[in-house]
């Protein structure tokens, strides 16, 4: 272990040993050495004691870390060691703090546990908006039950329904973390849910539906046509918003299981009005997306689009407390009024609950394609009549044999 007066020039002249490694100690800074290996790698190391035990700290490689910078860094390490800090332990803890931070664990959870969840973007958005501002810089192991209660209570005070959903997401995240060995226990185990999901029963009146239809016609592409298709098809927002040309088969939309909420394939017959609208849409060259401003990604900015639509509606008077999703409920209610039975309405909505669930659902495999077409054709005529101020002509229904 030679001890020499290190200078920038002297460091450059040091030769590598034939085998192994050699430490050249700096006469100008006790316990600082340049370690040179047989392969020519040169690293600065500092030797000191923590609670009487000899410790070595690797400071960095030369020439990336110069002699001057190495002496400065060695001084900082020496001060820390005198305070009883083990640099190797501190470095390991720093790495663990980054790896086990709530934000890092949440990112991993979203990718590995939620990646195939259709609502992953909504979950990601809720975590980013309500959780990360409070916990982003904390290790997940430091987050306790009281922290969770305080966070969810603060959300529940403003948005009870969001607090309810956030409780479910965080509970799953912590439970997943226990399974991965990140946590020993789930701080939310047996924690009662805060808030409640408000069950919506909003149905647009005929007059309101006509106003939404007209406002959508005055709203620029792509959201104007999207809203009208949502009304005519009773499809979910994401089903139409991410619609692809390859999913349109003549006068039918065919969605595979990964595109539907219940993971079941779904067909949506297109009424003449809906088909004419689709055929009149612009088509971006080289893109399979029906609605896109880039040709690469589906449309986004639904909140802004809804606000634009509301401004068009509000020229007369506001429509209170309505959402785009209410179009599905409005269609279902309208089809009841037009005389269609529950099984057909559920088929139109793509539901497998109610009359099509359980044992009946296992053995009743009739897809109601003809009945769905009849229902959506009648609904389109009804909407068209409302928009024109006329009375809809309802075609008398034939009783279905497949019930």
| Rounded Cα–Cα distance for residues 46 and 313 (Å) | 72
| Rounded Cα–Cα distance for residues 4 and 10 (Å) | 9
pLDDT in tens, 16-62: 888 999 988 988 888 898 899 998 898 989 898 888 888 888 888 99
Q: Are 381 and 393 in contact (CB under 8 A)?
A: yes
Domain residue spans in the chain? 3-96, 100-179, 206-388
pLDDT in tens, 184-195: 999 999 998 865
Instruction: Give the alpha-carbon dihedral of 26, 29, 30, 34, to 10 degrees.
Output: -40
Contacts made by residues 269-272, CB under 8 angstroms, sequence distance 24+: 269/369, 269/372, 269/373, 269/376, 269/377, 270/233, 270/376, 271/232, 271/373, 271/376, 271/377, 271/379, 271/380, 271/381, 272/377, 272/380
| Rounded Cα–Cα distance for residues 188 and 171 (Å) | 6
Interval 131-159 mean pLDDT: 90
DSSP conformational letter for 317? -
Q: Are 336 and 382 in contact (CB under 8 A)?
A: no
> How far lies 105's CA from each of 73, 109, 140, 172, in Å?
32, 6, 8, 12
pLDDT over 50 (residue 359) = no
> How far lies 45's CA from each of 12, 15, 40, in Å?
17, 17, 15
Write the DSSP string, 206-269.
HHHHHHHHHHHHTSPTTHHHHHHHHHHH---HHHHHT-BGGGEETTEEEE-GGGSTTS--EEEE
**Site of tokens 């067909």:** 267
How many Cβ atoms are within 10 Å of 283's Cβ, its own excluded?
A: 11
Mean pLDDT for all residues in the chain:
86
When comparing pLDDT for 329 and 314, which is higher?
Answer: 329
pLDDT in tens, 60-96: 899 888 988 999 988 888 888 888 877 766 666 556 5
Angle between helices 369-388 and 206-217 (to 10 degrees): 80
pLDDT over 50 (residue 116) = yes
* pLDDT value, residue 59: 87
Q: Checking phi first, is residue 297 left (phi over 0); if not, alpha (psi -120 to 50) or beta?
A: beta
For the 3-96 domain, the top CATH level (class) is: alpha beta
Give the percent of the chain with pLDDT over 70: 88
pLDDT over 50 (residue 251) = yes
Q: What are phi and psi of 76, to 5 degrees?
A: -65, -40
Residue 292's H or E segment, with its range, is none
| Rounded Cα–Cα distance for residues 264 and 270 (Å) | 19
**Site of tokens 């979950």:** 123
Give the pLDDT band (50/70/90) at residue 205. Answer: very high
Give the pLDDT band (50/70/90) at residue 357. Answer: very low
pLDDT over 70 (residue 138) = yes
Equal CATH topology for 3-96 and 206-388: no
Within 42-121, strands assigned E span 42-50, 53-61
* pLDDT value, residue 354: 52
Interval 120-138 mean pLDDT: 90
CATH fold label, 206-388 = hpI Integrase; Chain A (1.10.443)
CATH fold label, 100-179 = DNA polymerase; domain 1 (1.10.150)
| Rounded Cα–Cα distance for residues 268 and 252 (Å) | 6
Q: Closest Cα to residue 47, out of 64, 62, 30? A: 30
* pLDDT value, residue 261: 80
Beta-sheet pairing, 3-4 with 21-26: parallel
């Amino acid at each position: 272990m030679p001890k020499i007066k290190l200078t920038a020039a002297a460091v450059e002249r040091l030769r590598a040993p034939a085998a192994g490694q050699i430490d050249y100690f700096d006469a100008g800074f006790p316990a600082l050495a340049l370690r040179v290996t047989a392969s020519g790698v040169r690293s600065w190391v500092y030797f000191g004691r923590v609670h009487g035990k000899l410790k070595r700290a690797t400071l960095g490689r030369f020439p990336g870390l110069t002699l001057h910078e190495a002496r400065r860094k060695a001084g900082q390490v020496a001060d820390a060691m005198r305070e009883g800090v083990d640099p190797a332990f501190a470095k390991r803890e720093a790495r663990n703090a980054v790896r086990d931070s709530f934000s890092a664990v949440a990112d991993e959870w979203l990718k590995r546990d939620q990646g195939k969840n259709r609502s992953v973007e909504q979950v990601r958005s809720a975590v980013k908006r309500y959780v990360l501002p409070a916990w982003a810089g904390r290790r997940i192991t430091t987050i306790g039950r009281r922290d969770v209660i305080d966070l969810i209570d603060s959300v529940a005070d403003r948005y009870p329904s969001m607090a309810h959903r956030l409780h479910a997401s965080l509970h799953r995240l912590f439970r997943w973390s226990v399974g991965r060995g990140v946590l020993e226990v789930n701080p939310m185990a047996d924690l009662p849910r805060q808030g409640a999901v408000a069950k919506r029963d909003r149905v647009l009146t005929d007059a309101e539906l006509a106003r939404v239809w007209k406002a959508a016609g005055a709203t620029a592409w792509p959201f104007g046509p999207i809203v009208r298709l949502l009304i005519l098809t009773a499809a979910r927002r994401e089903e139409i918003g991410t619609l692809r040309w390859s999913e349109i088969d003549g006068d039918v939309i065919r969605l595979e299981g990964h595109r539907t909420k219940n993971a079941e394939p779904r067909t949506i017959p297109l009424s003449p009005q809906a088909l004419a609208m689709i055929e009149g849409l612009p088509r971006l060259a080289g893109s399979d997306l029906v609605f896109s401003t880039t040709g690469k990604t589906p449309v986004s900015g639904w909140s802004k689009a809804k606000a634009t639509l509301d401004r068009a509606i509000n020229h007369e008077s506001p429509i209170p407390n309505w959402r785009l999703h209410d179009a599905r409920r409005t269609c279902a209610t309208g089809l009841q009024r037009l005389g269609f039975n529950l099984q057909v309405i559920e088929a139109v909505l793509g539901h497998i609950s109610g009359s099509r669930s359980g044992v009946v659902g296992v053995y009743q495999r009739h897809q109601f394609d003809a009945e769905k077409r009849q229902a959506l054709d009648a609904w389109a005529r009804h909407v068209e009549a409302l928009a024109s101020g006329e009375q809809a002509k309802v075609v008398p229904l034939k009783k279905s044999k497949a019930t």
